[in-house]
Structure 1
Amino acid sequence: MLKEIRPAIFVLLALTLITGLLYPLAMTAVAGFAFPTRAEGSLITRNGQVIGSALIGQEFKDDKYFHGRPSATSAADPNDATKTVPAPYNAANSSGSNLGPTSKALADRVKEDVDKLRAENPAQAVPVDLVTTSASGLDPDISPEAALFQVPRVAKARGLPEASVQALIARQTQGRLLGLLGEPRVNVLALNLALDAARVQ
């Protein structure tokens, strides 16, 4: 019987070693060599301090900063482990809200966000990505239209001409990959850092 089982045990150990150890280590080494910044999480530093990642959104509430997409991520309630509380851009709990198009809670939340944004900029239509969450809840980017929608608020808070803020958005806008894939986008953290770097308050 051992004679029949021995090849199966050998194959199990060999495949475990190859697919569970050697292959992941080889891919990690290749990624670290070919794409070192991406392999390390696309971290963004300022003054030697890591302040975020280009891949994970952050919550900005101050009027002088651009705001990203809403985030539906949550975390355990510290007062009751059986419940959760909102924790925007919680990378440890990446997820959408799971609320469907017929959900009253979703409709109420979107209506409240739309009303707030319309009060902020009544002359423009509210871009959909400013009131809808992404599937991951961590989206770091917004559309150029969503960034331009926020120009009046940011320009007023910083005492800048709107044209200057619009020009900054244009410089921070990333196009489609290879001119074909994806949509034009603006990384919110990079845009806000560019605003700060311009020393405009």
Structure 2
Amino acid sequence: MDQELARLNSEAARLAVQFVNGQPRAFHRLVLLFAPRVMRIVRKLVSGYHDGEDLYNEIWLKVAQNLHKYDPALPFHSWLYRIASNSCIDFLRKKREIVLEDEQLLLHVHKHPAETVKSPERFLVEKETHTELTALMDNLNETDRLILTLRFVEGMSYEEIGSIVGMNKNTVGTRLFRARKQLKELLEKHREERRMADAAY
């Protein structure tokens, strides 16, 4: 855990206790601490501005309703992300929509290092692949999509992801490997189908 996140967790624990003890203004300050991180996860998982806003507000409402259950001795961000992840999974199961926009995932799927300077041709190829991957993400189940997002968007460790989704780190690693493999196979199949369609004309 980096120093900034440790500082946020410490401050959040203090504010959580204040809120539970009857200081409503503490909750507003608590939201300000983690609002960018929660919104970033929501934006990566949910397509549609209004859907994202509704889900974001729903997450914080659940936090307020359950803050009395939070143990200040534990990292606040893990507890918060667990609520956020469950809300996102519930939403995705209903909407079946996902957007994952992250260059690290793109690079990992193709297993090539980042280039310092990209040619226009290279940029267009990567942009096209990025678009294809975004569309193909809907073929993964909700938990795998969430694990990918926490890993490649939030940069969380296997242990942190496991504490949020209720898995040990080995299971998280296995799910990540399978999800990346499935995405790559889906991408290859999609491109082959497109080549065959183009050849028919």
Structure with greater helix share of residues:
2
Rg bigger for which structure?
1
Structure with greater strand share of residues:
1
TM over 0.5: no
Please give the TM-score of this superposition, normalised by the length of structure 1.
Answer: 0.32
